[in-house]
Structure 1
Amino acid sequence: MSTDRATAGRQLQPNLVLTTKREARGWTSRRRAARELHRIWQANLPGCPDIESLEKALYRHETGRVQVRDDAYRKLYCLAYDATPQELFGSVETDTGSASRLVVTSHKFIPVFVGVERAAHLRERPDFMPGVEHWLDCRVAPVDVINGKCDLHVWPFGVAIFHLVEELALPNVAALSVWRVQSYKDNMAWATRRIRDLGASESTEAAYVLSSYWVNEAPWEGDTLDTALRILAIPKVLLERDIEPAHSLHRAELVERSLLAEGFEHPDMIPFGIKGISMGYASWSGVVYYPIAEQRSLAEDDLVHCELAVQSLWAYSDHLNRMIERGSDPVVPDEYGWRFVRGARSRITNARPRETEQHRSMRNAILATCDLESNLAQAIETLRDSAGG
């Protein structure tokens, strides 16, 4: 096959989804695929080209020398691979050749319930210092980590949270989505090993990972930027359930291109930015924030401290509710019983006198999307009813 002159000097973007779909059908050669496509075209579409022309078109479409703009070929591939145009082609009108990058600071919050006694031991260690401007009483110590930096935050009511910070420079949201899913499993295993090394019992395990993204640079503008941030708040929307993340990047890129062109909405996502100052979105999956006017927007620590407080109480109430689900009455020290939970709920849900509108909007959006208030209400009710509460 000769290289098209029109592609000279242009970086090709192969459509690996088409290639993967073809190979999954057992059509390991394009010649074999062309014969099968010829049969499907004859049965379903008018004006069928010869097999040699189909083989040449397939080569050009798969290698990215030509995008699949012809309606007949788009229908053919959808029929042959039992797929939608979005799955196979994304949006062919969207230009992905921007040289800009998506540069974000990733904040991962990895909670572990260690219990009141172990938390007290950790907090007494000389490397733990009082947390600055934390919403709830907390002590903090640095933790060695291979990539990025990490602090361990410990609250007296038995919750520890690893706060892992990583700087990322990626070509698109799809790459972040794949990295996120792949890294979560490693993060959970690492946090579990690390907390056990610090004296927690062998049954202690990391509960989950919650991510927040502070966007430093974005390769989009206008409505496309808004859509990209929405996707970034729920990046897993780009991935399919049954495909390994390591093999899903190209498919995710196609979905991203399509969503950027068509827009993306989610009923449970809540915005909390201020026009001309910032753009922010909160969802069950995480939080994203882009400061447009840095001197007037929220500071990065504002977001971090809010998430630490919210996740510490979420992990505590989740631990209590899990005990209930196992058929046990939760028994906790009096100082961390229902009155404590009630006071913590008031502290985290009610506005402070000097709180700005931006702080209030951020806090309300995060609380509404993580369902913390209902968790705390359940915990208060249970602790009041139990002998240990």
Structure 2
Amino acid sequence: MIAVEKWTGEEALLLRSVMRLSVRAFAANLGISPRSVSYWQKNRDAVCRPAMAQILDLTLSKCSPEEQEAFRVRLAALRGEPTATNDVARPSPCSVVSHTFLPVYLGERIAPLFAAGLPRAAGPGGLEQRVLPAGHRLAHASTLHLYSCGVAVVHLEELKHVDNLTELAVWRYGNYQREPAWVSDRLSLLLAQHSQAPAAGPSPTPQYMLSAYELREHSWTGAGLDTALQLLTTPSVLVDRQNPANVVPLRPGMEDAKFRDGWTHPEALQFGGGVSRGVAGWSGVAYHPQPHERALPMQQIISLELDVQALWALSAYVLHMIEDGHDPVMPSEYGWRYLRSAYFRLTTARPTESAQHRTMREAILATSELPDRLRAAQDALRDTNS
């Protein structure tokens, strides 16, 4: 049995991470309010009271042997203590399929592009969408997803073979400089081609990028594979980003140290099961199916992320109007009822949903914080229309 001498918010959140639970699910498991978990996220050094420490001790004792071992290894790494492990993991060559999502809110300007697109089946959020070729010259595949609510999401798919994960991280941050400008130019061109009148409004530039990686050929096992997925999800720990135009690797040996210590991000959530392993974080998702014939298809992760990014951009537009001192106004068909419908579709389990799909969906929604944003945007639109 693992003994935790002093439970703080840091250890409590570490337990939540190895149990692969959302904030609400973890709170329900402990029998406490979700606000307590949110408090730990903001106050990681806060010492838990004796009664809470007993609850956490009991919860840890009920974890599976695999979860307890993961907690032991990560707790030791958190404290800077050596850990005994059978896996000697090191940086290694690997192949990944990179999926990049760049959402842009276009509003009513999307109408001519939407009319020109080919109908596509609605995703998990039930959002009406169409698609056009994006025409990226370097990507293996590129698609422009057009949502009737006014959001366009560019999806780029690229196969990368790298000698180590630091090399992949440098490439990814280079894309942060290249791809948003390309998307802006591409959307401006398409709007000009499909619009009868000159396009009005600001330049259609993505506010952010999100990456999802499917790890394919590699040599990691056990804890080494877990560390690799964590680093794929949060590559910022491998690079120096002081100059965004010239992101470079951190000091030599940094990736070796991360593998040696079994590094993990405290807010990342694992998902999957015996036949697949994945990690979801704020800036990305990493997934390794094993074996392929029984694993969660990567396409299900892509379908969810497309709807998540579209709704994130839509809710961001609504909330930005409030920040700028304006009452949020949307067409009635895309008002608060539209957001409420999408919220329930994304957060409600389906009878045919597998356990792998459920844990993936919950992890992505929790780390993206989309449910909270949808509720806030929904409340703002309802208040405006009342």
- TM superposition score normalised by structure 2: 0.71
Correspondence for 1:106:
98
Q: Shift in Å at residue 238 of structure 1?
A: 1.1
Q: Is 1:235 matched up with 2:235? A: yes
Correspondence for 2:216:
216
**Does the C-alpha gap of structure 1 residues 252 and 344 become closer, same or farther in structure 2, counting only changes over 3 Å?**
farther
Q: Shift in Å at residue 243 of structure 1?
A: 5.3
Correspondence for 2:265:
266
Correspondence for 1:348:
346
Correspondence for 2:12:
none
Q: Is 1:145 matched up with 2:144? A: no
SS state at 2:153 partner: strand
Q: Is 1:196 matched up with 2:185? A: no
**Does the C-alpha gap of structure 1 residues 281 and 336 become closer, same or farther in structure 2, counting only changes over 3 Å?**
same
Q: Shift in Å at residue 292 of structure 1?
A: 1.3
Looking at structure 2, the residues matched to 272 and 344 of structure 1 have their Cα atoms a distance apart, in angstroms, of 22
* Partners of 1:133 and 1:305 within 8 A in 2: no
**Does the C-alpha gap of structure 1 residues 215 and 253 become closer, same or farther in structure 2, counting only changes over 3 Å?**
farther
Looking at structure 2, the residues matched to 263 and 184 of structure 1 have their Cα atoms a distance apart, in angstroms, of 27
Gaps in structure 1 of 5+ consecutive residues: 1-85, 87-93
1:184 alignment partner, one of 156, 176, 179: 176
Q: Shift in Å at residue 133 of structure 1?
A: 5.4
* Partners of 1:272 and 1:282 within 8 A in 2: yes
Q: Shift in Å at residue 247 of structure 1?
A: 6.3
Query: After superposition, where does 1:17-36 map in structure 2 within 5 Å?
Result: none
The AA in structure 2 aligned to 1:212 is A
Bigger RCO of structures 1 and 2 (CA < 8 A, at least 6 apart): 2
* Partners of 1:109 and 1:210 within 8 A in 2: yes
Q: Shift in Å at residue 120 of structure 1?
A: 2.3
* Partners of 2:227 and 2:259 within 8 A in 1: yes
Looking at structure 2, the residues matched to 185 and 247 of structure 1 have their Cα atoms a distance apart, in angstroms, of 10
RMSD of aligned alpha carbons: 2.0
SS state at 2:211 partner: strand
Q: Shift in Å at residue 240 of structure 1?
A: 2.8
The AA in structure 2 aligned to 1:271 is Q
* Partners of 2:176 and 2:209 within 8 A in 1: yes
Q: Shift in Å at residue 244 of structure 1?
A: 6.0
**Does the C-alpha gap of structure 1 residues 346 and 132 become closer, same or farther in structure 2, counting only changes over 3 Å?**
same
Between structure 1 and structure 2, the one with the greater Rg is: 1
1:118 alignment partner, one of 78, 91, 109: 109
Q: Is 1:131 matched up with 2:120? A: yes
The AA in structure 1 aligned to 2:306 is L
Looking at structure 1, the residues matched to 376 and 267 of structure 2 have their Cα atoms a distance apart, in angstroms, of 22
The AA in structure 1 aligned to 2:287 is Y
SS state at 2:167 partner: helix
Gaps in structure 2 of 5+ consecutive residues: 1-79, 81-87, 192-198
Write the deviation string for residues 243-277 of structure 1: whole angstroms up to 9, x where unpaired: 5674623x3652111010111122211000213x1
Looking at structure 2, the residues matched to 258 and 339 of structure 1 have their Cα atoms a distance apart, in angstroms, of 49
Percent identity over the alignment is 40
Query: After superposition, where does 1:1-389 map in structure 2 within 5 Å?
Result: 101-115=93-107, 117-125=108-116, 128-132=117-121, 134-135=123-124, 136-148=127-139, 149-199=141-191, 201=200, 203=202, 204-242=204-242, 246=246, 248-249=248-249, 251=250, 254-275=253-274, 277-387=275-385
* Partners of 2:101 and 2:153 within 8 A in 1: yes
SS state at 1:108 partner: strand
Looking at structure 1, the residues matched to 293 and 251 of structure 2 have their Cα atoms a distance apart, in angstroms, of 35
Looking at structure 1, the residues matched to 148 and 91 of structure 2 have their Cα atoms a distance apart, in angstroms, of 51
* Partners of 2:89 and 2:260 within 8 A in 1: no
SS state at 2:273 partner: coil
Q: Shift in Å at residue 219 of structure 1?
A: 3.0
The number of equivalent residue pairs is 289
**Does the C-alpha gap of structure 1 residues 202 and 380 become closer, same or farther in structure 2, counting only changes over 3 Å?**
closer
Q: Shift in Å at residue 96 of structure 1?
A: 5.7
Write the deviation string for residues 153-198 of structure 1: whole angstroms up to 9, x where unpaired: 0111100000011110001110011111111111010111111112
Looking at structure 2, the residues matched to 365 and 270 of structure 1 have their Cα atoms a distance apart, in angstroms, of 6
**Does the C-alpha gap of structure 1 residues 194 and 245 become closer, same or farther in structure 2, counting only changes over 3 Å?**
closer
The AA in structure 2 aligned to 1:261 is R
SS state at 1:318 partner: helix
Looking at structure 2, the residues matched to 245 and 174 of structure 1 have their Cα atoms a distance apart, in angstroms, of 17
Write the deviation string for residues 344-389 of structure 1: whole angstroms up to 9, x where unpaired: 11111111221111111111000000000110011011001114x7
Q: Shift in Å at residue 134 of structure 1?
A: 2.1
**Does the C-alpha gap of structure 1 residues 334 and 265 become closer, same or farther in structure 2, counting only changes over 3 Å?**
same
The AA in structure 1 aligned to 2:134 is V
Write the deviation string for residues 62-117 of structure 1: whole angstroms up to 9, x where unpaired: xxxxxxxxxxxxxxxxxxxxxxxx9xxxxxxx78686xx210010000000000x2
Looking at structure 1, the residues matched to 233 and 102 of structure 2 have their Cα atoms a distance apart, in angstroms, of 18
Q: Shift in Å at residue 132 of structure 1?
A: 3.5
* Partners of 1:139 and 1:155 within 8 A in 2: yes
